[in-house]
Each structure stands twice: as structure tokens, then as C-alpha cells.
Amino acid sequence: MAIEIITIPDLGGADSVEVIELCVSVGDSVEQEESLVVLESDKASMDVPSPFDGAVVKYLVAEGDTVKVGDAIAEVETAASEAIAEKTVEEVVEEAPAEPVPVEAAVEAPQAAAVSETSEQIALVPDIGSDDKVELIEISVSVGDQVEEGDTLVVLESDKATMDVPSTLTGTVKAFIAKEGDKLATGDQVALIEVTSSAQAVVEAPAPTAQVEPAKAADPAPAPSPAVTAAPAATAAVSNDSSDVYAGPSVRLLARELGVDLGQVAGTGPRSRIQKDDVNNFVKTALKSGGNGGSASASGAGIPQVPAVDFSQFGEIETVKLSKIQKITADNMQRNWLNVPHVTQFDDADITELEVFRKSLKLEGEKKGIKVTPVAFIIKAAAAALAANPEFNRSLAGDGENYVQKHYINIGMAVDTPRGLVVPVIKDADKKGIWEISEDVITMATLAREGKLKPSDMQGGCFTISSLGAIGGNGFTPIVNSPEVGILGVSKSQMKPVWDGSDFQPKLMLPLALSYDHRVINGGDAGRFMTYLVKVLSDIRHMTL
């Protein structure tokens, strides 16, 4: 008794065909010439008969699989196998039924790494240091390929590690007995190799070699062999060094052929393993963007792209074109987020008195046709804080050697419009009073919402205010509008009990978040700026000083 591997015979020119039927149940006996599987190409269907009497031990394909010449179909146990095992593949082919298509190979494959008397040998899973089965996640060469000793045949993966199974033989891969997704243990059959020269008589592969991966898992669970490294953590790690990424040999080969740095590619496979499709998609994106990053919203400016998801599989969707402003905003946000080392500092300003004063202006404002909101006071206070803390009124010079100190104070104001976010600039805010600033706020916000701002209305800002006060929230971390170096996020004011030394007093507190470019601004500078700003807002008489 022995196990024979039945492979896909010559398909008469068809490259690959679909398995449409498994004809015998596992465990059932099969007679010579009885069909094992039925294959179907786009032109015809064909039966693959068993070349001998026996019993089906295991199917190595499933209905719906696409197979090609040489792929292993089934393991069949046969009493007659001893005789067959002594034959070469060619002899078996010659003796197989003429029509339908003959089965190509049936070679004895004893578990103990047997060598047939022909030149075909079976590569087995080497000692993986545990009794557990591990998954075959990648077949690294194709049937018909020449392999040399040391070339990786397949890649196995356990919960903790991946391992390449190298060939100990030099020859031609005639068939893969195992397929992707199979769970294999030490000694299981991997591939049938027609040996042209062999360094050793025994076909068992050596201990697997380690798959180089980006990071050792936190859990140092025993690896299958000392040479095997731990699998990466679940999140994708992106490395600039291609030798330090989680990818199989065939993916590495493809990347080498295409000149792709695997360190730049995000893996979408299990535990972020890089797949061939990831490499191909990376190249497609690079080509679309001219190879230099292109639109940040599309390419990620050189960082790995978030994999595309077909959301329609989860429910009804519609795809809506981004407005021009939304695209520009996406690019700017990503540029600033990637370029600027951000720090955000928080504080609350007591604006109880400011609000009393602001409300007292209501009647006069109605007469003037100007509504004064807290934003006008915040712009004025920010202008005063910039004057007192000129570090915030700088920009890094493009040469990286200098900074530019500005001696004018223009404050940008983020405006939420149906077409997207725009930032008109209130010029010379330090020189204007609350009425004038309020008028500017209304004019700019109206022009912005009507899409009538001129480019010059949005240029020359020194510092930006992003107010979500009318909308709500306790706080948020705004992104610096580079080359400016600071931005103030304003949230909704709330009455809060504030301790005055002997009692809690109800105070209207305004939450502020100051994000700054830490290349230009130190924490101390930011602390002073924020303290000054809070002081001015808490006591607006300081604005006049």
C-alpha cells in the first residue's frame, strides 16, 4: 500500500481550467480509468481518470478551483503502487488511458522522504519543531520552474512566524502536492521535483529559513525553529528597508523586478503581509501620480496608501466627486500634518466679562448693521498675543537655515462653507477695533460661503483661528496652516464653577487649543502665548495696552 499523487495531465493547450466536479468521495474506492475529477475550460469539459485501482485518501483541489498542468489533484492509496512507483512519470503517462486526457504522474511518496527509483523526488515539510500544523500561505515557484538547492518552494505560516521551505534539490518542479491554505505538519508532502542533480539522496527539506519580518511580536512564543523569527504585530509596520518587511520571496522578486521599495508598500495580507497585488497597486498609484507622490489625497505623498475597499459589499453606496476646495484642503492638511511636528496646548479663558461687554454692544451693532460675535474678540486678542510673542509670527525659511520674522499681523479665519473649508485673512488685525474686525468677519464669511473670495483675500496670514464655538465641543487639535507656525482652535464656551480662593463662582469659560510647529516654537513660547491670550480674553482692557 502506498499513497500516489494524481496530477493534472496535459490539457491540450488550455492554460488553466476549473474543477467542476469531484467524482469520488474521500474514502471510496476508485477503479482504473474511473473519473476522479471533471475539469472544464471555456471550450470543453474533460474527465481525469484514475490510472489504477485504489481508494481516494484526500482531494487536493476543491470544486471551483482553477488548476493547470501538473497541479496535484488527489492522493490515492493503491495496492498496485509499488509497481507504479518504479516507473517514471513518462512511463505512467504512456500507460494511462489515451482518452480522456491521461494522468501525468503517479509517484510513490512514502512519508519518510523516500527517493523513487526514477529521478522524481518529493520534497517534504522539514522538522518545524512542533506537532502543530501550519498554514501554507504561499507557493513561491510555478510548476515547470527550474529550482536550485536553497530556492524557496513554499512559505508556511504559524500564529507566530513564517518560514520559507527551501528545496534541497536542483531540478524541475513537476507538481505541487500541497496548495495554498493547506495545513501542513512535519513530513507532509510539498512538491514533486524531477531531479537533475541532487546534493543528497534524501529529499526532506532542511530546516526552514527565517522570513525576515518588520518587528518581533511582543509575545516571544516558541518559534518552530531557532532560525524562525516572530511574526509582526497586527498593525502594518512600514519600513524604509525592504529587507525588513513582511513579504514572501515571490513578492520580493516581483518588487525587485519592478524596482519597488517594499518598505513603502502597505501589506493587506494576514498580519499585514505584503501581497503581489499590494506591489502592483503601489506601482499603479506611483504611475498615476507621476512617481513622485502626486496628490496627497490620492497617493499619501510617498507613504503607503490606505488599501481601497469595495464598500458596496457592505451596503448601498454612492460615489461623489470631491469639490476643488475639498481636494486642495486634503492636500494641504496632509502636507502640513506630515511636515509639521505638532504640539497642542490647552487652556480655558474666562470670558464672563467679555460676554457682558459684547452683549452690551448689541443695540449699537444693530444700528450699525454689524453683529459682534466672540470671534471678533478672539481675533483681536490673538493679534495682541502675536505682538507680545513674536515667535508665533515667524515662518521657517525654505533654506532650513533661517526664519522669517513678520512685522505685520494678519489673522486667518477658518470658514466652513458648503464647498469646503476656506481661510480668508483679516489684514492688520492689530490695528483694527472690534467693530472693524466684526465687519471683516461678516464680509469674509459671506464672501466665503458665496464662493466669491479672491485669492488675495486668502493670502498673507500669520496665524489662524478655527472657531467651532457656534457648533459645540470641548476641544479639538487643529492642524497648523503651514508656513504659519500656530493655530488656535476655539470650542464652545460653557458656564463652569471656578474657585476664586474662597468660593466657587459661575464663570463663562472658553476652551482654547493652541497647536504649534515645534520646529519654530518651544513649549515655553507656547505657554507664554497661551497665558497672554487667556489674560487678554479674561480682561479685554489688556487689548488696549
Applying CB under 6 A, the residues found at the interface with ligand CAO are: 373-375, 413-416, 421, 441, 445, 466-470, 478, 490, 492-493, 510
Q: How far is the CB of 329 from ligand CAO (least distance, A)?
A: 8
Contact 157, 270 (CB under 8 A): yes
User: Can you tell me which residue has the cell 531557532?
Assistant: 226
Closest distance to ligand CAO from the beta carbon of 485 (Å): 17
The answer to whether 178 and 138 are in contact (CB under 8 A) is no
Name which of 73 and 510 has its Cβ closer to ligand CAO: 510
Based on the residue annotation, tell me whether 542 is a catalytic residue of this protein: no
Task: State which residue, 304 or 461, has the beta carbon closest to ligand CAO.
Answer: 461
Whichever of 276 and 492 has its CB closer to ligand CAO, that residue is 492
Q: How far is the CB of 420 from ligand CAO (least distance, A)?
A: 10
Show the beta-strand stretches assigned E in 93-246.
120-124, 134-139, 146-147, 152-157, 162-166, 169-176, 183-184, 189-198, 209-210
Query: Which residue's CB is nearer to ligand CAO, number 352 or number 466?
Result: 466
Does the bond joining 483 to the residue before it have cis omega, within 30 degrees of 0? yes
C-beta atoms surrounding 360 within 10 Å = 11
Which of 342, 407, 518, 542 is the catalytic position?
A: 518
* Residue 372 to residue 331: CA distance in whole angstroms: 33
Characterize 46-85 residue by residue with b for buried, 16 or more Cβ atoms within 10 angstroms of its Cβ, and e for exposed: bbbbbbbebbbeebbbeeebebebbbbbbbbbbebbeebb
Nearer to ligand CAO, 312 or 443 (CB): 443
Closest to ligand CAO by CB, 260 vs 445, is 445
Q: Give the nearest distance from C-beta 503 to ligand CAO in angstroms.
A: 25
Question: Strand 494-499 relative to strand 504-517: parallel, antiparallel, unpaired?
Answer: antiparallel
How many angstroms separate the CA atoms of 411 and 486, rounded? Answer: 11
178 closest CA partner among 148, 151, 143 = 143
Name the residue whose CB lies closest to ligand CAO: 469
Q: Strand ranges (DSSP E) for 419-491?
A: 420-422, 425-426, 463-467, 486-490
| 479 alpha carbon, distance to own chain's centre | 23
Q: Which of 509, 506, 477 is nearest to 493 (CA)?
A: 509
Of 487, 489, 488, 508, the C-alpha closest to 497 is 508
Measure CA of the first residue to CA of the last residue in the chain; give whole Å. Answer: 102
CB proximity list for 303: less than 8 A, separation 6 or greater: 238, 264, 338
Least Å distance, CB 22 to ligand CAO, is: 58
Nearer to ligand CAO, 406 or 492 (CB): 492
- Of 48 and 490, nearer to ligand CAO (C-beta) is 490
Q: In angstroms, what is the minimal distance from the CB of 458 to ligand CAO?
A: 13
* Least CB distance to ligand CAO at residue 480 (A): 11
- Tell me how far apart the alpha carbons of residues 110 and 7 are, in angstroms, rounded to a whole number: 17
CB of 469 to ligand CAO, least distance (A): 2
Question: Mind telling me the catalytic residues?
Answer: 518
